């Protein structure tokens, strides 16, 4: 085991702190620039060698440069200034000079348009084909930079080899150095002089033996002197030795100050650990051993400081720098600089000598102390899930602020939160499906302990937390993708243990996992176990689970939608393995496949997303032709399932918002217009009633409970959306939230909403449903049309029924009788009197307008009516039977002033000589109509 004291064998890397490293600046093997030390006032010739670096443009002609500059005002290497070329156009055309080399000549200051007072520090390049589909970058797929100098100062540098050069025994080391004026130039290998000359350039070749060397250049023009150095390793053969039993890929912490590193990389010749421990140089002492089967490279490290963070990478086969695929934290040179200290305090700075993304290890880390160690998970059929994207839920985009918002979610009544992907993804602002490191928490949302604290707080409130897991694909920064990369075709190599070179299905994004591969199976199992054990997630929503197959349906969508037994078996295996780690964890599939296959998966214990957006939105908009608003697929038994494993949703992150389509495309008739915000919100109340009342698990998308209506394509489909917490202060939107809350509480408190005795008639304009069990019966009716209609609620028996939202009682004398419903009117009746929910909710929007009251109700000979007119107008008060037939007027039509009114209507009611029954009192004022039930007991 190597410890820190052994590093004293390599004192030279501490001594050469003055060395100038040009690994990303004078990248002479990829580009050459003349003059070698340009100032921003110079005209320079740039030659790009397509065979070097990533090699992505070998054989491509013409080549175009995409270029800008890094100036003294740039905030990071990705903050290019004054970019003069447009991606995918004919801009930046270079001259093809043969042998895969391409040339361009520019005057730096004038070409880039550098204003006075700003200083160019580096030229920045990415080379590309004209359409941008192929590109040339560094060997680690990074941008190419070249230093720009102060033209008045003396310069000297080693141009080749590149920094961290790794040679094999017998390789020739070609050395080239240059100065800005004629100088005495010397090359040394460690302290041994190799050669000397007097001039502006020196080239030399040497074949060193195996070992670690410092290649040094000294230069002196009689007045000025400079020294540059590059560390060179001449590799020794990799030592083959099996790791100790039980060693797994990733980091195994052995003690508070020691650990074992292991990298699964079959077919590779050598791997070096580089990082903070060895000044980012591939030293012999950090060459990893290789298992006897050639699959795994490993090494032990000791003498580390407990609690300290160390950045590190793997250098594979001398030219590929990758982070540990199993790392739990990465440092990103392009994105970390935009993460504020308030979100991620004291983030370790990116190491200056590194390149590309690096991983972090931390021995002796203080463990998180969980506050909630016991919590209950709702049964699958009882789940009410709130899908949440941290970025678009709170402006601070951090877990700490989401914790502060848990009262809002708890009051809503949800018992589960589903987080969109929070594993390390490319960039900062994202939906999270472009995953790069599957074991690391993306720092844009906070620290790993902030995430634990969020989950801890949810569990304390009885809310489980489900993680949206992406195992269909990975993106290009992922180390496993890069380990086996086909440069010529710009895709994973066929030798990859994990990835298909070409995706097997038509809806893939990123790079498609080969789910039949044992390496992928092992990796996937490790990922799921990690998040269950380290963070106490309660389960997963498996993104694009339909892609977990090797059946090639890429150009055959019918095959993609067919029953796939291999896919079923792969998912069953993964589910079974997850359940060995956590026997009750949820396993939810975004399958959206055929019912036959989904039935098999559901019966096996898995749950499935059940998209109901289209029928619910057609219903809220008021369109019903061709069965388009049929809601019956919400109910799992309609699908022929015996288990409530379909997670129905009206909205999700992937669907257009109900209110957006209400306001843009809603139906209308006369003055009734779904596009009116208040009307659209009221119709969403009705939809919610027919959603939450149907037995089975439910999912809602964040802010759907407030009628969020921003177009999903605003700022690009996956772009940031406005966060409108102010909606909670708007009466109509607050009312929708309270309806959601009342319905969620109702289903959680009463067993009838988990009953097997359900009758649905939800295909037409007037929709009804009935639920029955030994504790209570429920009848629900709603008019989803834009005109008045009648329908039969389907009461289970005669007698007293109670309107849940208004608290009114109804004496049902004929269970086959129909009732008149205004457009958008709905009722939820129970045959057990329940507490009226503490919400200012009306059955239709006009009841709030009239503030109508009938009393006493039930009535025996006496009847008073009170209301408050918001404006003057002619008012008509009528009595209807349950079929909607008008029986008479209770008061002559007359002009009434605005303001409160009260009338004794008992005499008029008695005069109609009506038999005891339930009737409807209807008010009309202009285009406004409101209906109120009245139980008349006679005189």
Segment 265-322, tens digit of pLDDT: 999 999 999 999 999 999 999 999 999 999 999 999 999 999 999 999 999 998 899 9
The residues pairing with 201 across neighbouring beta strands, listed in sequence order, are 178
Q: Which of 831, 724, 718, 732 is nearest to 778 (CA)?
A: 831
**Residue among 575, 562, 487 at smallest CA distance from 525:** 575
Looking at residue 164, what is its pLDDT?
Answer: 56
List of long-range contacts for 610-614, beta carbons under 8 Å, 24+ apart: 610/634, 610/646, 610/647, 610/648, 610/649, 611/649, 611/652, 611/655, 612/648, 612/649, 612/650, 612/691, 613/649, 613/650, 613/651, 613/652, 613/655, 613/656, 613/658
What does the pLDDT read at residue 808? 86
C-alpha distances in Å from residue 862, one per residue of 336, 865, 886: 74, 10, 21
From 158, 268, 276, select the one nearest 218 (Cα to Cα). 158
Helices 677-692 + 613-621 axis angle, to 10: 140
Note the pLDDT tens digit of each residue in 527-583. 999 999 999 999 999 999 999 999 999 989 999 999 999 999 999 999 999 999 999
* Nearest by Cα to 471 from 428, 426, 506, 522: 522
Give residue for tokens 């059955």.
Answer: 843
10, pLDDT greater than 70: no
Contact 194, 188 (CB under 8 A): yes
Encode pLDDT of 618-658 as tens digits: 999 999 999 999 999 999 999 999 999 999 999 999 999 99
- Give the pLDDT of residue 845: 42
At 917 the pLDDT is 85
Contact between residue 899 and residue 793 where contact means Cβ atoms under 8 Å apart: no
**Packing angle between helix 613-621 and helix 658-665, nearest 10 degrees?**
40
What pLDDT score does 839 carry? 75
Q: Do 750 and 378 touch, CB atoms closer than 8 A?
A: no
In this structure, are residues 540 and 471 in contact, taking their beta carbons and an 8 Å threshold? Answer: no
Alpha-carbon distance of 554 to 297, in angstroms, equals 35
Taking only the tens place, the pLDDT of each residue in 352-368 is: 989 899 999 999 999 99
pLDDT tens string 459-484? 999 999 999 999 999 999 999 999 99
User: Which residue from 698, 671, 670, 682 is spatially nearest to 619, judged by alpha carbons?
Assistant: 682
Q: How far apart are CA 60 and CA 93, in angstroms?
A: 13
The pLDDT value recorded for residue 13 is: 31
- What are 675-729's pLDDT values in tens digits? 999 999 999 999 999 999 999 999 999 999 999 999 999 999 999 999 999 999 8
Reading the block at residue 752, the tokens are 């009838």
In order, the DSSP letters of 367-382 are PP--S----PPPPGGG
- The string of DSSP codes covering 37-90 is S--TTSEEEEEEETTSTT-TTTT--S-EEEEEEEETT-SSTT--BS----TTSS
Cα 13 from chain centroid? Answer: 42
Identify the pLDDT of residue 840.
Answer: 60
State the pLDDT at residue 14.
29
Q: Give the model confidence (pLDDT) of 919-932 as tens digits.
A: 888 888 876 777 77
Q: Residue 47, class by beta-carbon neighbours within 10 Å (0-12 exposed, 13-18 middle, 19+ buried)?
A: middle
Query: Is the predicted pLDDT of residue 850 greater than 80, yes or no?
Result: no
Paired residues of 889 in beta bridges: 878
What was the pLDDT predicted at 686? 98
pLDDT at 938: 84
Residues 6+ apart with CB under 8 A from 451: 399, 422, 441, 445, 535
Q: Lowest-confidence range among 21-30, 465-474, 597-606?
A: 21-30
CA distances (Å), origin 628, targets 153, 277, 569, 613, 615: 76, 64, 34, 11, 6
CA distance 781 to 315: 67
Spatial distance between the Cα atoms of 472 and 218, rounded to a whole number of angstroms: 53
Question: Is the pLDDT confidence value at 211 over 60?
Answer: yes
Instruction: Give the pLDDT confidence of 758-794 residue by residue, as tens digits.
Output: 999 999 999 999 999 999 999 999 999 999 999 999 9
**How far apart, in Å, are the Cα atoms of 875 and each of 173, 867, 899?**
99, 11, 13
Helix 595-603 to helix 565-581 angle (10° resolution) is 30
- pLDDT-based confidence at residue 165 (cuts at 50, 70, 90): low
Residue among 352, 283, 308, 323 at smallest CA distance from 7: 283
Residues 6 or more apart whose Cβ sits within 8 Å of residue 862: 856, 906
- Closest listed residue to residue 160, CA positions, set 251, 228, 213: 228
Instruction: Measure the CA–CA gap between 554 and 532, rounded to whole angstroms.
Output: 33
**What region, left, alpha or beta, does residue 124 occupy, with left being phi > 0 and alpha being psi -120 to 50 degrees?**
beta
385: nearest Cα among 397, 375, 374, 377: 377
Q: What is the pLDDT of residue 844?
A: 42
- CA dist., res. 194 & res. 89, Å (int): 48
**Cis previous bond, 387, omega within 30:** no
Nearest to 234 by CA among 167, 286, 285, 293: 167
**Do residues 284 and 212 make contact, with C-beta atoms less than 8 angstroms apart?**
yes
φ and ψ of 473, to 5 deg: -160, 170
How many residues are there in the chain?
Answer: 939
> Element (H or E) spanning 178, and its range?
strand 173-189
CA distances from 328 to 414, 448, 672, 761 (A): 30, 9, 56, 51
- Among left, alpha and beta (phi > 0; psi -120 to 50; other), residue 884 is left
Band of pLDDT at residue 843, cut at 50, 70 and 90: very low
Residue-level pLDDT at 927: 62
- Cα dihedral across residues 690, 694, 699, 705: positive or negative: positive
Q: Are 383 and 416 in contact (CB under 8 A)?
A: yes
Q: Which helix (H) or strand (E) holds 129?
A: none
**Rounded-to-integer distance, Cα 702 and Cα 388, Å:** 6
Kind of pairing between the strands at 586-589 and 511-512: unpaired
Tokens standing for residue 371:
């506050």
pTM: 0.83
d(Cα 441, Cα 444) in Å, to the nearest integer? Answer: 9
Provide the pLDDT for residue 882: 65
Element (H, E) at 220: strand 211-220
Cβ atoms 648, 695 nearer than 8 A: no
What pLDDT does 74 receive? 93
Give the C-alpha separation, 603 to 469, whole Å. 22
Query: What integer pLDDT is reported at residue 919 of this predicted model?
Result: 84
DSSP label of 286? G
Q: What SS3 state is found at 908?
A: helix
The answer to whether 631 and 616 are in contact (CB under 8 A) is yes
**Average confidence score pLDDT of the chain:** 92
Check residue 926 and give its pLDDT.
75
| Residue 360 β-bridge partners | 311
How many Å apart are CA 597 and CA 588, to the nearest integer?
14
Report pLDDT for 25.
Answer: 45
Q: What is the DSSP string of 782-844?
A: EE-SSS-EEE----SSSEEEEETTT--EEEES-TT--EEE-TT-EEEEESS--PPPSS---SS
**What share of the chain in percent tops pLDDT 70?**
95
Q: What's CA 264's distance to the chain center, in Å? A: 27
Q: What are 216-274's pLDDT values in tens digits?
A: 999 999 999 999 998 899 999 999 999 999 999 999 999 999 999 999 999 999 999 99
């Amino acid at each position: 085991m190597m410890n820190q004291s052994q590093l004293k064998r390599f004192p030279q890397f501490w001594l050469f702190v003055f060395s100038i490293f040009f690994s990303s600046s004078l990248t002479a093997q990829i580009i050459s620039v003349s003059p070698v030390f340009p100032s921003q006032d110079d005209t320079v010739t740039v030659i790009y060698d397509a065979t070097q670096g990533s090699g992505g443009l070998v054989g491509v002609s013409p080549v175009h440069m995409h270029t800008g500059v890094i100036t003294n005002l740039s905030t990071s290497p990705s903050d290019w200034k004054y970019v003069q070329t447009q991606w995918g156009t004919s801009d930046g055309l270079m001259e093809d000079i043969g042998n895969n080399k391409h040339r361009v000549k520019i005057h730096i200051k004038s070409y880039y348009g550098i204003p006075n007072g700003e200083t160019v520090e580096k030229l920045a390049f990415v080379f590309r084909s004209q359409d941008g589909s192929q590109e040339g970058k560094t060997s680690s797929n990074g941008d190419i930079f070249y230093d720009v100098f102060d033209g008045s100062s003396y310069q000297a540098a080693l141009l080749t080899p590149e920094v961290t050069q790794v040679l094999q025994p017998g390789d020739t080391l070609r050395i080239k150095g240059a100065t800005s004026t004629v100088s005495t130039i010397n090359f040394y290998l460690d302290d041994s002089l190799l050669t000397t000359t007097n001039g502006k350039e020196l080239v030399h070749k040497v074949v060193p033996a195996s070992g670690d060397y410092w290649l040094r250049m000294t230069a002196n023009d009689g007045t000025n002197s400079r020294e540059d150095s590059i560390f060179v390793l001449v590799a020794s053969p990799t030592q083959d030795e099996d790791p100790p039993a039980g060693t797994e890929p990733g980091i195994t912490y052995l003690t508070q100050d020691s650990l074992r590193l292991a990298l699964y990389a079959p077919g590779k010749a050598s791997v070096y650990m580089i990082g903070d421990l060895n000044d980012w140089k591939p030293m012999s002492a950090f060459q990893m051993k290789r298992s006897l089967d050639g699959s795994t490279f490993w090494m032990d490290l000791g003498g580390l400081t407990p609690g300290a963070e160390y950045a590190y990478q793997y250098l594979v086969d001398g030219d590929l720098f990758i982070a540990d695929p199993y790392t739990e934290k990465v440092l990103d040179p392009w994105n970390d600089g935009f993460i504020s200290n308030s979100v991620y305090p004291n983030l370790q700075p990116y190491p200056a000598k590194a390149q590309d993304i690096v991983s972090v290890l931390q021995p002796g880390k203080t463990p998180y102390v969980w506050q909630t160690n016991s919590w209950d998970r709702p049964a699958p059929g009882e789940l009410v899930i709130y899908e949440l994207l941290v970025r678009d839920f709170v402006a601070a985009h951090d877990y700490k602020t989401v914790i502060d918002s848990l009262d809002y979610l708890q009051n809503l009544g949800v018992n589960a939160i589903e987080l969109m992907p929070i594993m390390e993804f490319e960039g900062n602002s994202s939906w999270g499906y472009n995953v790069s490191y599957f074991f690391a928490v993306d720092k844009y949302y906070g620290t790993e302990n902030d995430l634990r604290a969020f989950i801890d707080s949810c569990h304390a409130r009885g809310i489980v937390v489900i993680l949206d897991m992406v195992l269909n694909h990975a993106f290009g920064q992922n180390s496993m993708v890069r380990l086996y990369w086909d440069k010529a075709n710009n895709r994973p190599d066929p030798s990859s243990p994990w990835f298909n070179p070409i995706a097997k299905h038509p809806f893939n994004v990123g790079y498609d996992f080969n789910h039949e591969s044992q390496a992928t199976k092992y990796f996937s199992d490790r990922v799921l176990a990690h998040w269950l054990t380290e963070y106490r997630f309660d389960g997963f929503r498996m993104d694009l689970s339909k892609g977990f197959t090797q059946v090639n349906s890429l150009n055959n969508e019918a095959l993609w939608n067919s029953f796939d037994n291999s896919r079923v078996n792969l998912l069953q295996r993964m589910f079974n393995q997850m359940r060995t780690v956590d026997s009750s964890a949820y396993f939810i599939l975004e399958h959206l496949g055929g019912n036959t296959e989904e039935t098999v998966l559901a019966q096996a214990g898995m749950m499935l997303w059940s998209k109901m957006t289209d029928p619910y939105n057609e219903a809220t908009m008021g369109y019903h032709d061709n069965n388009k608003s049929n809601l019956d697929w919400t109910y799992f038994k309609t699908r022929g399932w015996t288990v409530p494993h379909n997670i129905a949703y009206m909205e999700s992150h992937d669907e257009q918002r109900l209110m957006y389509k209400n306001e843009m495309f809603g139906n209308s008739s006369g003055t009734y217009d779904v596009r009116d915000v208040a009307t659209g919100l009221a119709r969403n109340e009705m939809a919610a009633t027919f959603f939450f009342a149907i037995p089975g698990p439910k999912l809602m998308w964040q802010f759907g409970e407030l009628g969020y209506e921003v177009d999903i394509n605003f700022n690009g489909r996956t772009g940031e959306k406005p966060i409108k917490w102010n909606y909670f202060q708007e009466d109509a939107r607050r009312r929708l939230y309270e309806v959601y809350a009342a319905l969620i509480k109702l289903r959680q408190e009463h067993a009838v909403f988990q009953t097997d005795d359900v009758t649905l008639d939800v295909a037409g304009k007037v929709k009804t449903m009935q639920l029955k069990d030994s504790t209570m019966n429920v009848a629900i009716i709603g008019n989803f049309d834009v005109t008045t209609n009648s329908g039969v609620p389907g009461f289970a028996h005669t007698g007293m029924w109670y309107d849940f939202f208004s608290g009114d009682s109804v004496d049902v004398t004929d269970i086959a009788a129909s009732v008149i419903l205004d457009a958008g009117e709905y009722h939820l009746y129970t045959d057990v009197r329940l507490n009226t929910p503490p919400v200012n909710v009306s059955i239709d929007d006009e009841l709030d307008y009239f503030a109508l009251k009938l009393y006493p109700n039930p009535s025996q000979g006496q009847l008073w009516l009170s209301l408050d007119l918001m404006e003057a107008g002619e008012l008509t008060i009528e009595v209807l039977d349950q079929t909607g037939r008008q029986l008479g007027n209770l008061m002559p039509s007359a002009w009434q002033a605005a303001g409160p009114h009260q009338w004794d209507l008992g005499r008029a009611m008695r005069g109609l000589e009506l038999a005891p029954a339930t009737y409807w009192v209807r008010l009309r004022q202009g285009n406004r109509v409101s209906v109120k039930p009245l139980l008349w007991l006679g005189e």
